[in-house]
A = this chain, B = another copy of it.
């Protein structure tokens, strides 16, 4: 029962992802038609520079007037791969108003204003899909929203930024410092000329907001996500992690708070045990752990970025949106019925690895331990070593003149209590400095 009228698709943006989307729509036309039940017709492609040479892109489809394209009225689905907030938000809502469903890869927009977009889509009876916005080709949004629709997700823990994982993987495998590893990532095309969005965690925070909202059926925006980048991670931190049988990853973590009445979402570097499946995620790959009440622990792994993988996710959504158009229905929309508040970082409960530079004299450990106890932060292990012993000599406990270093690993404690502990430690004469604080996850 193949319909004759094709489904008309408008493409906004024709960069790396857009040209790959065009290529697949063109070369896999028969397969897509069979899977949808009707052929797809590419009705127009909005670009900024129409005169740029684009191999394999039909020049007659190019236009600089994106607004006119989404207003045509005969477009079934708009695919948006431009990115950024405006003018994209206006283009998408205009598309809704003219009856088009939208497939977007725009994590920034979804993380900033997803609720509004979902409401506008529902108002006009069209779909809004965005599998490509999180972790590239890895199916995550659909499994969370549909496969786990009958389960209760308690935790999402993942590596959702390929650039930073590449950098940390290099630091771990070569002993390089952050700058050196970033230079290599840039040279190999894994980091952009301005790497801020990746290395400061903005990209991962947007994805965390989207995942938390879907996983917990509530609204989370990027402003709700606690964010720390990896620019302050040192070779010494990586070496400390190794000593603990851990590695360092930039993690996006979305959890229900212990009382179940709120959720938290955060992005920061953390140590995770080498035995944890996320520890073996190398190079620019992404992987996300989902812990659900009935399903248990699931992991989704794959390439988190790149033109072809992102296009794969876009095309999956496009097929779904087209199928819904044919059936005159829509897929699952926003599901934010729980209205759980997002708690601040201080409410997060986790473990900590703290490196202190201390005076090398008797009584320091007792003083430090007292401060932890005063703030209800229970210590799991302490390692003390002379300042010049180097990181390789694990057993050394040297108390000569000058400085020593003290490494404290805590039991689970509230982030606010840990912060208060560190503030108190800084006031001690015997504590010369707090060299690093890193959370320990995945245990």
Contact = CB atoms under 8 A, between A and B. Distances in A.
A301 B24 CA distance: 28
Given A147-B131, A150-B314, A138 B298 contact: yes
A329 interface: yes
B34 A217 contact: yes
Contacts of A280: 277, 280
Contact of A139 (B143, B308, B335): B143
Given A312-B151, A335-B35, A337-B34, A146 B320 contact: yes
A24 B148 CA distance: 13
A303 B296 contact: yes
Contacts of A296: 137, 302-303, 306, 308-309
A295 B303 contact: yes
Contacts of A277: 280, 301
A32 interface: yes
A150 B294 contact: no
A330 to B, nearest CB: 8
A312 B290 CA distance: 13
Given A146-B320, A149-B319, A332-B323, A300 B298 contact: yes
Nearest to A150: B315
A152 B299 contact: no
A316 B150 contact: yes
Interface string A54-93: 0000000000000000000000000000000000000000
A198 interface: no
A239 interface: no
Interface in A312-350: 312-320, 323, 327-330, 332, 335, 337-338
A383 interface: no
Nearest to A131: B147
Contacts of A300: 298-301
Interface residues of A, number: 57
Interface string A256-298: 0000000000000000000001001000000000001111111
Contacts of A297: 302-303
A412 interface: no
Given A298-B138, A335-B35, A316 B151 contact: yes
A45 interface: no
Interface string A21-65: 000100010011011000000000000000000000000000000
Among A131, A146, A148, the most chain B Cβ lie within 10 Å of the Cβ of A146
B316 A146 contact: yes
A84 to B, nearest CB: 24
Contacts of A147: 131, 139, 142-143, 313, 316
A154 to B, nearest CB: 13
Contacts of A292: 137, 312
Contacts of A314: 150
A169 interface: no
B335 A295 contact: no
A20 interface: yes
* Shortest beta-carbon contacts, A-B, top 4: A150-B315, A139-B147, A137-B295, A294-B312
23 contacts: A32-B150, A35-B150, A35-B337, A137-B151, A137-B292, A137-B294, A139-B148, A142-B147, A148-B312, A148-B316, A149-B320, A150-B315, A150-B317, A150-B319, A293-B308, A294-B308, A294-B311, A294-B315, A296-B309, A297-B302, A299-B302, A327-B330, A328-B329
Given A20-B294, A35-B217, A150-B311, 19 more contacts: A28-B150, A34-B338, A137-B295, A139-B139, A139-B147, A142-B142, A142-B143, A146-B319, A149-B320, A150-B312, A150-B316, A151-B315, A296-B302, A296-B308, A297-B302, A298-B300, A299-B300, A323-B332, A328-B329
